[in-house]
């Protein structure tokens, strides 16, 4: 069985999904999220500054648990680990990436969008997966439908989740966390609006509190 991501979350239920275009924003953004109750972050490799941003957070923000998202290749997998990531995330898994993951004991959350993909990842030892893009592939009804045949797999749904729908996901037994881009969207990061991001983070940290248990 591949190492799970959930033990790193320490009960955290919401993971902000981040695109950091300017590495200078990395420290204040991460500090804002950690200070407001969201210590687990997914920094996506969707900008040229992403790896540098990860290094800055790893070195300067105490308490930050860094996930590295949008990993597509073995090269990115290795770079994410070297930059200081605690775990990796992918939108899906190619055959080549899956082979690299099998040889790597880094906690990893591979993406799946169909039952066949979920079963392939399950056979490879991944009992925690990212359902992506969650709202498009069926959302909560999808999670409920697959909870029977793959009851031993847990998910972190990501993609299209909003503050209004977050609790609908978090109440499901086969959901251990959710990912959300609404907390620190690119426009707020560009504007350095840490006040608004902090407010959103505090609200997100309270989501699902009634179902929260220590992992």
> Which domains can be identified in the chain, with CATH numbers?
6-208 (3.20.20.70)
> Exposed (0-12), middle (13-18) or buried (19+): which is 88, by Cβ within 10 Å?
buried
Tens digit of each residue's pLDDT (9 = 90 or more) over 57-88? 999 999 999 999 999 999 999 999 999 999 99
Other CB atoms within 10 Å distance of the CB of residue 175: 22
Which amino acids are annotated catalytic? 42, 130
pTM above 0.85, yes or no: yes
pLDDT value for 100: 97
How far from 200 is each of 17, 70, 116, 180, CA to CA, in Å?
A: 13, 23, 35, 11
Tens digit of each residue's pLDDT (9 = 90 or more) over 87-130? 999 999 999 999 999 999 999 999 999 999 999 999 999 999 99
pLDDT at 210 exceeding the cut of 60: no
Split at pLDDT 50, 70, 90, the class of 208 is low
Tens digit of each residue's pLDDT (9 = 90 or more) over 136-188? 999 999 999 999 999 999 999 999 999 999 999 999 999 999 999 999 999 99
Split at pLDDT 50, 70, 90, the class of 46 is very high
Place of tokens 């069985």: 1
Contact status, residue 78 vs residue 47, Cβ threshold 8 Å: no
Other CB atoms within 10 Å distance of the CB of residue 128: 22
> Exposed (0-12), middle (13-18) or buried (19+): which is 27, by Cβ within 10 Å?
middle
Tens digit of each residue's pLDDT (9 = 90 or more) over 16-36? 999 999 999 999 999 999 999
**Structure-token pair, residue 154:** 């847990």
């Amino acid at each position: 069985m591949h190492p799970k991501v959930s033990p790193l979350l320490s009960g955290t239920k919401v993971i902000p999904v981040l695109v950091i275009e300017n590495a200078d924003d990395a420290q204040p953004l991460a500090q804002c999220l950690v200070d407001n109750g969201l210590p687990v972050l997914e920094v996506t490799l969707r900008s040229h500054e992403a790896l540098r941003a990860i290094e800055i957070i790893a070195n300067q923000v105490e308490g930050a648990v860094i996930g590295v998202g949008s990993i597509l290749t073995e090269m990115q997998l290795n770079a994410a680990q070297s930059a200081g990531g605690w775990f990796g995330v992918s939108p899906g898994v190619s055959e080549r990436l899956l082979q690299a993951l099998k040889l790597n004991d880094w906690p990893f959350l591979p993406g799946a969008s169909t039952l066949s993909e979920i079963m392939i990842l399950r056979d490879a030892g991944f009992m925690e997966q990212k359902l992506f893009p969650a709202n498009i592939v069926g959302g909560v009804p999808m999670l409920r439908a697959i909870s029977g045949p793959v009851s031993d797999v847990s998910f972190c749904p990501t993609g299209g989740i909003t503050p209004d729908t977050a609790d609908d996901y978090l109440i499901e037994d086969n959901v251990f966390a959710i990912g959300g881009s609404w907390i620190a969207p690119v426009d707020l990061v560009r504007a350095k609006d840490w006040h608004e991001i902090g407010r959103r983070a505090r609200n997100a940290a309270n989501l699902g509190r009634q179902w929260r248990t220590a992992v």
